[in-house]
Amino acid sequence: FYDPNCNGKQVMVHLFEWKWTDIAAECERYLAGAGYCGVQVSPPMEHVILAENNYPWWQRYQPVSYKLYSRSGNEDEFIDMVHRCNSVGVRIYVDAVVNHMTPTGVSGVADGGSTYNTNGHARDFPGVPYSAEHFTPRHKCPSGDGTVDDYSNPSNVRNCYLYGLTDLNGKLDYVREKVVGYFNQLIQIGVAGIRIDAAKYMWPEDISATLSRLTDLPTDQGFPAGSKFYVFQEVIDQNDGAIKVDEYYNTGYVTEFRYCSKIAWGIKDYGQLSNLIDYGWGMARSDRAFIFTDNHDNQRGHGGGGNVITHESPRDYKQAVAYTLAQDYGFTRIMSSYYFTNTDQGPPSNGGYSTADVIINGDGSCGGGWVCEHRWNVMKKMVEFRNAVVGTSMENYWNNGNAVAFSRGNKGFFAMAKQGSMSESLQTGLPAGSYCNIIDDCASSIQVGADGTAQISINNYEEPILAVCAGGCG
């Protein structure tokens, strides 16, 4: 569960709320050439449609069945996307919502035609099918109203209803079989892995029992024989409760949300970048840490929000992502967003429920309300850098509180200046020679002497970053 199955590439992008047809096109026209490992896609299963809430993005976290029918498209479009992306070496990772179904007290018909009814004691999801006996019994949940309300007690977190969402009983063989069926269907199509949504609310042994029944990835989609599903689990551990990320190491990577706060703090106060990874805080070990500067929840204040940097502060955000990709901790994901004015607002739409196409402008940026951080110059270049220096460690670390620099083995060197300029003679760890800065397309360069030192100069307010690689990064 630890190999993302993308030939050693190091960065995935979350194309939040994109349609399958647009993702397929993006794999072919951009992601493959830019060196992205793959795409995390929004939940593909059938979900409620909340017209009364003006179709919020979060309706997709209220499953109705495991039919591949969502706001992003139907099953044929999903399969076409996976196949087209795989054929250009870009993998698809599904956001898997299997902790729960819809909230209590609702009924209706979802887009794919499946009905649901959770009024009173009913828990009817005939599209799976699930019924009342497949949900965690009330007596197992120690909270007063049945919802999760005590993070100091694992039984409360894992047996009660998160936000009132009907909690599947993962102890039951029947439930495990249904989830296995969903995952094996994804695998058969050629999906390379999953994010397990709300994994913190599931018992680790239930996740383990489910994953143990998965088949290998299909060789006809370009996976070497014996390849396993890549798994990263959403466990928000902020040192604020009983549940710790390390309980989930046996079943894959874990989201490391403390990294979001740490990098935001570090960009505000460069001195803090020296203490970015704090194992004293219990941050996940590097070969289990799934990291990102911000995600679809905390960029809009959901899931506890927090002090994170987002695309809304572009200059700081470029530095945060650049540093994240330059350093050597964890497996990285880049966020790709749409603009919003209210935190529930769904993606750009053609009116109502129908998601608008992503517009690609002549200069390669996006329009139509899509931010496309993954196409920004700094992000694209730093993806190349991270791929090029894979396997090396950080050395020659230097930080004076206003600027920071380090080498990645003898393969790369990175520097960044908070105020936009720096000039300093530093050890680069690189063989003697001239190296050009990929960030400004070689407008600036450094000359490394026989002793490995070079004068490192940055003069660029908007993108105050220097990144060079031995033999070129691309």
Task: Name which of 102 and 327 has its Cβ closer to ligand QV4.
Answer: 102
- Measuring CA to CA, which residue among 229, 149, 225, 147 is closest to residue 190? 229
Residue placing its CB nearer to ligand QV4 in the complex, 62 or 319:
62
Nearer to ligand QV4, 235 or 417 (CB): 235
Tell how far CA 180 is from the center of its chain.
Answer: 22
Instruction: Tell me, yes or no, if 462 is annotated catalytic.
Output: no
Separation of alpha carbons 305 and 319, rounded Å? 20
- The amino acid at 7: N
What's the maximum distance between 2 C-alpha atoms anywhere in the chain?
Answer: 77
Using the rule CB under 6 A, is 200 a contact of ligand QV4?
Answer: yes
- Which residue of 247, 256, 294, 297 would you call a contact of ligand QV4, by CB under 6 A? 297
Q: Does the footprint of ligand QV4 cover residue 116 (CB under 6 A)?
A: no
For residue 63, count other CB atoms closer than 10 A to its CB: 32
E runs forming strands in 127-227: 165-167, 193-196
DSSP 168: B
CA-based nearest residue to 136, from 126, 153, 151, 148: 148
Among 26, 167, 197, 440, binds ligand QV4 (CB under 6 A): 197
Q: How many residues does the chain have?
A: 474
Q: Is residue 244 a contact point for ligand QV4 (CB under 6 A)?
A: no
Name the catalytic one among 234, 294, 297, 440: 234
Which of residues 40, 62, 72, 255 is near ligand QV4 by CB under 6 A?
A: 62
Q: How far apart are CA 74 and CA 204, in angstroms?
A: 31
Q: In the complex, what is the shortest distance from the CB of residue 110 to ligand QV4, in angstroms, rounded to a whole number? A: 13
**Is residue 34 a contact partner of residue 75, using CB atoms and an 8 Å limit?**
no
Asked if 204 is part of the footprint of ligand QV4 (rule: CB under 6 A), the reply reads no
Q: Is 234 a catalytic residue?
A: yes
The residue within the footprint of ligand QV4, chosen from 1, 30, 61, 232 (CB under 6 A), is 61
Q: How far is the CB of 23 from ligand QV4 (least distance, A)?
A: 19
| Rounded least distance, CB 165 to ligand QV4, Å | 6
If the CB atoms of residues 104 and 221 are measured against ligand QV4, the closer one turns out to be 104
| Measured distance CA(220)–CA(225) in Å, rounded | 10
261 lies in the site for ligand QV4, by CB under 6 A: no
- Residue 198 interacts with ligand QV4 (CB under 6 A)? yes
234 touching ligand QV4, by CB under 6 A? yes
Q: What is the contact mask toward ligand QV4 in residues 128 to 147, using x (rule: CB under 6 A)?
A: -------------------x
Task: Give the integer Cα–Cα distance in Å for 395 and 114.
Answer: 56
DSSP H helical segments within 12-170, as ranges? 20-26, 32-34, 75-87, 154-159
Nearer to ligand QV4, 8 or 301 (CB): 301
* Alpha helices (H) along 141-203: 154-159, 173-189
Catalytic residue numbers read 197, 234
Interface with ligand QV4 (CB under 6 A): 58, 61-62, 97, 103, 147, 163-165, 197-198, 200, 234, 236, 297, 302-304
